Chains A and B, each alone.
Chain A
């Protein structure tokens, strides 16, 4: 079975919420819509305090080239535009909407019917995706329309759909494939049309045999769409790892996937593309996995963006008493949340509740030079070396040791027997070295 060639680990999967039907989360009383929900520049508010909005009303416009529109996920009145404390404790601008009823914009087609015919032209598709404020739903939240417009001189040859879901615990993509496979395939065809390719590969890890079987059955009738089962291995969901696993090409250091003719999109994004293009529905809700060993009902929820995370946890049985940490995202790349009143954003793929015993980090000990971190590094760099270079502020040497290649998958920190915070230091080094590289230009 196919997988990527360098490094990788296999943490305990713990997919407690697998096969839980997608439930619709209740509407919040007040929705807090952050303006910076995508990678790049935050959006700029176009509504004012007191404005009446419906579900799908544009409330903030893209604030730069790498940026995405934001639409109201609820209907009601804009209470205020203010700074709110985000998941990391710093203040960020947000639009706060008091919810009244649930009235949708009339252009949005809310029926469940599968619309198979793609009538929109290539340009229309890109315009609709940009209008709908789509971003990569795997977690990186890079604006989709930019990823679909390769720079001049570069030609896409193949579309790769990321349905790997290699993060332990998370199951939202798996469940989405089981329930919305028809829509996803139409979404893939729209994406193929948008970038002008005739071949698409869907990479799925083989711990989801039912999803593989279902997608394979449906893809039989679709010309050019292949389903590629992959060996379970973290971080296969990384763009570069997935390209290596599916088509055997390696993205050169510092280059983008388009360099090897690939465009990678998340399976959730493919579904959102279907909704945006065929149903005129902007990105106002998404599937989020609420999970953990101690939570009463691990679930996959369809929740509106802007819903406070605490309300989602309450819906799944409330926060267990011995909770040590709540992590936004998966356990490998997610970030611990400072408070639960922060709202859901476009990038919220999961919420992991960890009991206090598991949440504690071990005390750091001395490096024993076992080179386990080197073995598991999926980018072929040397994490132990990078950490000491960063500790000693040797930025030139760190750059020469390819610190910027790190994809921050965290395999090194996970595997280190001395509990060294390797990734934390590498990330700090990437910040510094990145700033130095930018200042050179």
Chain B
């Protein structure tokens, strides 16, 4: 009987002493954490994608709390809706920003860009790029091996079976930028989503001279500068035989799309054009 008593008393005493020690230790090493960080983190999407430029959602929440204004801080996944909630939690003004979306600057499908050889190595763009210039005559375009598809954690991107090019799901893309980093050819770009998702971009990354580019791919940008001349807003620049449309200046007039001799400029989600005759009658 006394054995049990001694055991219970010893353990009880040990527990009590430990509790007292732990209490003082906890007081001594207490770290103050702003409770607002938890509030902000609660409204964030918890994707931890890193699209905001921070290590994860909590890291971003800390940055939001520390920052004096929310200008320049954006959760691309949550967009303006989430940023408004963040602003509300912090009692600050929300700063609206243009939603963005990933675009693929290559239209070299199997039909447009003939294969000159067959690749049967490791199914990874990064490896193929380090080995050689790819299965076609164009050494700038998409290899179609799907590093971008693997990197997307929102299921917003897949490689089309027929064209062997990435297709972006507009509703799912959060413009987190993971695919931009994953693409070793730097073909994917984040651009303004545009009103009603309407946007225009040069769907080519080929910097070869016009003739060489055109020979490798029928829809290559040949750097002819016709689009640059027709653009009334100075949104288009041509460098290294490749045109680029600045999405902050582009007013979506679509003149360049009509002018491009190789159909390298792509328009998305626009209503069908009026017939030319009608346009003249107007």
**Chain A residues packing against B (C-beta within 8 Å):** 85, 88-91, 335-336, 338, 360-361, 364, 421, 424-425, 427-428, 431
Contacts and interface: CB of A to CB of B under 8 A. Distances in A.
B20 interface: no
Given A338-B117, A364-B122, A421-B121, A89 B127 contact: no
**Which 3 A-B residue pairs are closest in the complex by CB-CB distance?**
A89-B133, A421-B122, A424-B122
Nearest to A391: B124
Report the interface size class on chain B: 10 to 19
A427 B127 contact: yes
Interface string B132-149: 111000010000000000
A431 B117 CA distance: 25
Contacts of A88: 131-133
Contact of A338 (B120, B127, B133): B133
A424 B121 contact: yes
Nearest to A424: B122
A364 B133 contact: no
B126 interface: yes
B248 interface: no
Given A338-B132, A427-B127, A361 B121 contact: yes
Contact of B127 (A85, A91, A336, A425): A425
A428 B130 contact: yes
A236 B126 CA distance: 30
Interface in B126-177: 126-127, 130-134, 139
A338 B118 CA distance: 10
B132 A427 contact: no
A308 B78 CA distance: 57
A395 to B, nearest CB: 13
Nearest to A431: B130
B123 A361 contact: no
9 contacts: A85-B133, A88-B131, A88-B133, A335-B131, A336-B132, A364-B123, A421-B121, A425-B122, A425-B124
Nearest to B150: A391
Contacts of B126: 428
Given A421-B122, A424-B127, 13 more contacts: A88-B131, A89-B139, A90-B133, A90-B139, A91-B139, A338-B132, A361-B120, A364-B122, A421-B121, A424-B122, A424-B124, A425-B124, A428-B124
A428 B131 CA distance: 10
A419 to B, nearest CB: 11
B134 A89 contact: yes
A89 B124 CA distance: 18
Interface in B102-133: 117, 120-124, 126-127, 130-133
A91 B122 CA distance: 23
Contacts of B134: 89
A383 to B, nearest CB: 13
Contacts of B133: 85, 88-90, 338
A78 to B, nearest CB: 22
Interface core residue of B120, B122, B124, B139 (most chain A CB under 10 Å): B122
A422 to B, nearest CB: 9
Given A89-B139, A90-B139, A338-B117, A427 B130 contact: yes
A336 B134 CA distance: 12
A338 B137 CA distance: 10
Nearest to A85: B133
A139 B150 CA distance: 36
Nearest to B133: A89
B127 A428 contact: yes
A424 B134 CA distance: 15
A415 B220 CA distance: 42
A90 B133 CA distance: 6
Given A89-B139, A338-B133, A360 B127 contact: no
Contacts of B122: 364, 421, 424-425
A90 B138 CA distance: 10
Contacts of A360: 120
Contacts of B131: 88, 335, 424
Contacts of B123: 364
A277 B35 CA distance: 77
Contact of B132 (A89, A364, A428, A431): A89
Nearest to A87: B132
A319 to B, nearest CB: 15
Interface centre among A85, A89, A360, A361 (most CB of B within 10 A): A89
A376 to B, nearest CB: 19
Nearest to B182: A393
B212 to A, nearest CB: 10
Contacts of A427: 127, 130
A338 B117 CA distance: 8
A431 to B, nearest CB: 7
A90 B134 CA distance: 10
A8 to B, nearest CB: 24
Contacts of B139: 89-91
B144 to A, nearest CB: 16
Nearest to B120: A361
Contacts of A364: 122-123
A421 B132 contact: no
Contacts of B124: 424-425, 428
Nearest to A423: B122
B127 to A, nearest CB: 5
Contacts of A338: 117, 132-133
Interface string B88-101: 00000000000000
A427 B121 CA distance: 13
Interface string B66-84: 0000000000000000000
B18 to A, nearest CB: 37
